[in-house]
């Protein structure tokens, strides 16, 4: 009984982790993934979008500043959602569960940092 409860709980946590992670969906010209970022302004948008165009396999990228959702269309033979998230983190922004690179964050303009917009969060 004890092992059955542990197994059931383990499966529940795994299911929740997979559910929380937005997976890519097939679209006409590749796959599309939506990534929650810590972006807060138009400068954030420009930094992320202009960096991602250099990621191999990325076909289209758009950050909605209001929702902080980054939508990326990509070729699944050349890149993955995980690689894209890591690229966003290297620019200095959180990307779903991947934390931003601290050094890159320090180099961001003031308006892109925590508290710059008065909300205290990113």
- Alpha-carbon distance of 12 to 79, in angstroms, equals 29
Enter the tokens of residue 89. 């983190």
Of the pLDDT bands very low, low, confident and very high (cuts 50, 70, 90), residue 117 is low
pLDDT higher than threshold 50 for residue 11: no
Of the pLDDT bands very low, low, confident and very high (cuts 50, 70, 90), residue 13 is very low
Write out pLDDT tens, residues 57-94.
999 999 999 999 999 999 999 999 999 999 999 999 99
pLDDT at 2: 55
| CA–CA distances in Å: residue 91 to residues 7, 46, 78 | 39, 11, 20
Model pTM?
Answer: 0.77
User: What one-character-per-residue DSSP string does 61-95 give?
Assistant: EEEETTTTEEEEEE-TTT--HHHHHHHHHHHT--B
- Alpha-carbon distance of 112 to 38, in angstroms, equals 9
Write out the E strands in 1-122. 25-27, 30-36, 58-64, 69-74
Judged by DSSP in three states, 43 sits in helix
Q: Which CATH architecture has domain 23-112?
A: 2-Layer Sandwich (3.30)
Q: Report the mean per-residue pLDDT for the chain.
A: 84
Domain borders along the chain are: 23-112
């Amino acid at each position: 009984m004890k092992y059955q409860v542990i197994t059931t709980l383990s499966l529940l946590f795994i299911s929740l982790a997979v559910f929380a992670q937005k997976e890519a969906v097939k679209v006409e010209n590749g796959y599309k993934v939506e990534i929650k970022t810590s972006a807060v302004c138009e400068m954030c948008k420009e930094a992320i979008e202009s960096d991602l165009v250099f990621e191999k396999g990325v076909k289209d990228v758009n950050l909605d500043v209001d929702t902080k959702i980054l939508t990326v269309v990509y070729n699944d033979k050349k890149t993955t959602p995980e690689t894209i998230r890591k690229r966003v983190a290297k620019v200095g922004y959180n990307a779903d569960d991947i934390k931003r690179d601290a050094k890159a964050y320090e180099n961001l303009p003031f308006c892109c940092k925590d508290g710059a917009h008065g909300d205290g969060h990113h």
